Amino acid sequence: MAIKRCHQLALGILALLALGTVFTFVVGMRNSNAKIIDSVTKNPKKAELGKGGLACQQLTAISTVTRNGQQVFKHLVGRCGERSEMATKKTEIGKTYWYGWSMFIPTAWKDSDAGFDIVNQFGAYPGKPGRKFPCRGIGSMISREGSNFNFIFQRQGTSIDSKCTRHTLFKVSEVRGKWIDFVMNVKWTGNKDGFLKLWTKVGNGPYVQKLNMKGATFWNDEGTGPYFKMGLYKGDPNFKGPAPRYLYTAEYRLGDANSNFRQVAPRLAKRIIAD
């Protein structure tokens, strides 16, 4: 009987090992299909500068700071400027993507600063002629408004063309002088099967899920899906609030539907920026 039980135990262990091997093989196959389809390691993909040109806004690489070997960029907009953004790859409507990126908010930013600071945009360009966006801009964005950073979510409504809701991510006082890391998983669509999930990590803290939206995330009649921009948009020259205004960005990655959190998530900085 003891010999029989030992034989059965051995067979059970072998079965578990085989199952584990199959499981590892399946996961490996799934991950092997994952792909980073866009990233920024050294130079901006495309610098978008506003009115006033180089004299009024700048997008420069900071050679003394890297994050996981990737370049850190400084986005600066003077009083006579409008924007200093990095434009990236356009996506396709109906497809799912993983995004990862970082930004650093200088200690000079105050809760009481006037005006607004758009730091990320998920916009389509050119947009559908005649389409109106209730929360300004084209598409969704992250913006500093008053003492809060808000995710401004614009998409197809159930009974209206464009719907806008605001979701507070964190206060300026919680993030200034720190790196903020972002991971987002989204299906860009005007249909009900869309979703948008966003996690943030402030400084050395843990990742926290901030958004878990279901339903339409975009429109089905735009020319393309949204393209991601990170940096700083201040609106027209002579903007309200302190000037010059600046922040830092790094570690942009865009993964396809087979990618995952770990592949796109920003890594630790090798040196903290002393602004």
Write the pLDDT tens digit of every residue in 134-154.
888 889 999 999 999 999 999
The predicted structure's pLDDT at residue 125: 80
Check pLDDT > 70 for residue 16: no
Residues 185 and 241 in one domain: yes
Residues 77 and 6 in one domain: no
The predicted structure's pLDDT at residue 130: 80
Return the structure tokens found at 187.
């299906």
Residues 9 and 137 in one domain: no
Task: Give me the chain's average pLDDT, please.
Answer: 86
Residues 95 and 20 in one domain: no
Residue with the bigger pLDDT between 274 and 265: it is 265
How would you list the strands of the sheet with 227-233, edge to edge? 46-49, 83-90, 227-233, 116-123, 140-145, 148-155, 163-171
Residues 80 and 26 in one domain: no
What pTM does this model have?
0.84
Mean pLDDT for 249-253 is 95
Would 174 be classed as within a structural domain? yes
Residues 191 and 223 in one domain: yes
Q: What digits encode the pLDDT tens for the residues 80-100?
A: 999 999 999 999 999 999 999
Residues 13 and 66 in one domain: no
Could you give the angle at the alpha carbon of 196 between the alpha carbons of 195 and 197, nearest 5°? Answer: 125
Q: DSSP string spanning 29-53?
A: HHHHT--EEEE-SSS-SEEEE-TTG
Confidence of residue 23 (pLDDT cuts 50, 70, 90): very low
Confidence of residue 133 (pLDDT cuts 50, 70, 90): confident
N- to C-terminal Cα distance for the chain?
Answer: 74
The predicted structure's pLDDT at residue 4: 43
Residues 80 and 132 in one domain: yes
Residues 91 and 156 in one domain: yes
Mean pLDDT for 254-266 is 96
**Max CA distance (Å), the chain:** 89
Q: Domain limits at 86?
A: 36-264
Mean pLDDT for 59-72 is 84
Would 84 be classed as within a structural domain? yes
Would 271 be classed as within a structural domain? no
Would 270 be classed as within a structural domain? no
The predicted structure's pLDDT at residue 32: 57
Residue 126: CATH number of its domain: 2.60.120.200
State how many domains the chain has.
Answer: 2
Q: What digits encode the pLDDT tens for the residues 100-126?
A: 999 999 999 999 999 999 999 998 887
Would 132 be classed as within a structural domain? yes
Would 274 be classed as within a structural domain? no
The predicted structure's pLDDT at residue 31: 55
Check pLDDT > 80 for residue 173: yes
Distance CA 228, CA 252 (A): 10
The predicted structure's pLDDT at residue 28: 34
Would 112 be classed as within a structural domain? yes
Check pLDDT > 70 for residue 74: yes
Percent of the residues in the chain that have a pLDDT greater than 70, as a whole number: 85
Distance CA 177, CA 36 (A): 29
Percent of the residues in the chain that have a pLDDT greater than 90, as a whole number: 69
Residues 24 and 65 in one domain: no
CB 10 within 8 A of CB 18: no
Mean pLDDT for 47-65 is 90
Q: What digits encode the pLDDT tens for the residues 185-241?
A: 999 999 999 999 999 999 999 999 999 999 999 999 998 999 999 999 999 899 999
Would 272 be classed as within a structural domain? no
Residues 10 and 88 in one domain: no
Residues 88 and 21 in one domain: no
Distance CA 185, CA 125 (A): 21
